[in-house]
Amino acid sequence: MSILERGSMFVYSETQFNELLSVDSSWRTDALLDLGAGDGRVTEKMAPHFNHIYATEVASQMQRLLTRKGYTILGLDNWSSHRKYNVISCLNLLDRCDKPMTLLREIRKSVTDDGRLIVASVSPYSPFVEENASNGNKPTEFIRMNTTCIEDQVNIMVNDMFKPTGFELVNFSRVPYLCEGDLTTSFYVLHDIIFVLRPV
């Protein structure tokens, strides 16, 4: 992956990021935390607005790419105690982690009172946790989605995931999610729901 620099994804452009947050290109604030930042291609779209950029990432080869871009890598066990962040991005991560509700509560404690959380979630929502093979790759904290309708899934995520963990919806959008593929498919096109949330 690191040698070929594969595994990139496109979620939004810098212009789309500005529109989602209702800011212009001159807006600047202190700290961004990008959870599960991958190779940092999406982080780069947000970076011009921040004085300090932090990231978490499991893959060591991706960590090297992030470090090369000048971002500060934080551990999975200490990012929430490091400091407060003005914006936290959690892109295509909730459906891949074992405890999404716990993660959202940790984010709530780590975002500034006037800050924002940006969540991207592939639709239809289909959780899959690689390290939980013995449990059928299902997360420990399971959110029941009894519909494939995007509008209904948005309502479920807002009411059953975000509100109980201390967030309210500011803005949302549906965007194409492009990610580099594998040996059989050059790239995949999925649908992402982008949520902009604020702490309450």
The answer on pLDDT for 4 being more than 50 is no
Report if residue 122 sits inside a domain.
Answer: yes
The answer on pLDDT for 182 being more than 90 is no
Report if residue 110 sits inside a domain.
Answer: yes
Q: Who contacts 56 (Cβ-Cβ below 8 Å, separation ≥6)?
A: 33, 34, 35, 36, 37, 73, 74, 75, 76, 79
Q: What is the pLDDT of residue 186?
A: 65
Report if residue 3 sits inside a domain.
Answer: no
The answer on pLDDT for 7 being more than 60 is no
Q: What is the pLDDT of residue 167?
A: 98
The answer on pLDDT for 155 being more than 80 is yes
Q: What is the pLDDT of residue 60?
A: 92
Q: What is the pLDDT of residue 3?
A: 44
Q: Supply the range of the domain harboring residue 183.
A: 9-199
Q: What is the pLDDT of residue 181?
A: 63
Q: What is the pLDDT of residue 126?
A: 84
Report if residue 195 sits inside a domain.
Answer: yes
- Give SS3 for 192: strand
- pLDDT tens-digit map of 73-122: 999 999 999 899 999 999 999 999 999 999 999 999 999 999 999 999 98
Asked if 153 and 147 count as a contact pair (C-beta separation under 8 A), the reply is yes
In the sheet that holds 9-10, the strands lie side by side as 9-10, 167-180, 187-199, 111-123, 85-91, 29-35, 50-55, 72-73
125: confidence class by pLDDT, cuts 50, 70, 90 = confident
Q: What is the pLDDT of residue 1?
A: 43
d(CA 171, CA 198): 10
The answer on pLDDT for 148 being more than 90 is no
Report if residue 57 sits inside a domain.
Answer: yes
Q: Give the C-alpha distances (Å, rounded to integers) separating 47 from 25, 43, 109, 191, 200.
A: 11, 6, 22, 24, 25
Report if residue 4 sits inside a domain.
Answer: no
The answer on pLDDT for 15 being more than 70 is yes
Q: What is the pLDDT of residue 53?
A: 98
d(CA 168, CA 66): 30
The answer on pLDDT for 146 being more than 90 is no
- pLDDT tens-digit map of 31-80: 999 999 999 999 999 999 999 999 999 999 999 999 999 999 999 999 99
Joined together, the tokens standing for residue 190 give: 């999925």
- Give SS3 for 57: coil
For the chain, the domain total comes to: 1
d(CA 165, CA 105): 5
The answer on pLDDT for 187 being more than 70 is no
Q: What is the CATH number of the domain that holds 98?
A: 3.40.50.150
Q: What is the pLDDT of residue 107?
A: 98
Apex CA 189: angle with CA 183 and CA 190, to 5°?
120
Report if residue 1 sits inside a domain.
Answer: no
Q: Mean pLDDT over residues 125-154, rounded? A: 85
